[in-house]
Amino acid sequence: MILCVDDEKNPLVLRKLVLERAGYEVITAGSGKEALEILSSRAVDLVLSDHLMPGMSGAELAKEIKNQNPQMPVVLISGVNDIPAEADVADAFVSKVEGPESLRRQVAAVLLEKTGDTGPPLGQ
């Protein structure tokens, strides 16, 4: 189960669909606050969050998640050109321009490293 976080609706939905196409189960949150609420009640394998969001940024969210559960894999995705120093708390930082295939690969790599998961069941 992947928790996808973004304040922008269309990109969030499309990212969810790409990951679902890759075979993952995906739930979404529209903000860092909402993501933390979901995490407190549901079992999640990985959090994929946009970095630049109003209110809580992706890096702040990652820090909060790691505080509560250091084992939780967190991947940040962003369109900014400069990797913010505070993003180091995340397990990976993905560029939006790299495209859907790259996103799939990086999510799979983090899951493998953090949980030993060899990948999602093959997509439809």
| Residues at the contact surface with another protein, assessed by CB under 8 A | 8, 10-11, 14-15, 17-18, 21, 52, 77, 79-83, 93, 95-101
Least distance (Å) between residue 116 CB and another protein = 25
Q: Which is nearer to another protein, 37 or 101 (CB)?
A: 101
Contact indicator for 49, 32 with CB cutoff of 8 Å: yes
Closer to another protein by CB, 39 or 89: give it.
89
Output DSSP code: residue 123. P
Nearer to another protein, 21 or 105 (CB): 21
| CA–CA gap between residue 89 and residue 57 (Å, rounded) | 13
Question: CA gyration radius for the chain?
Answer: 13
DSSP code for 120: P
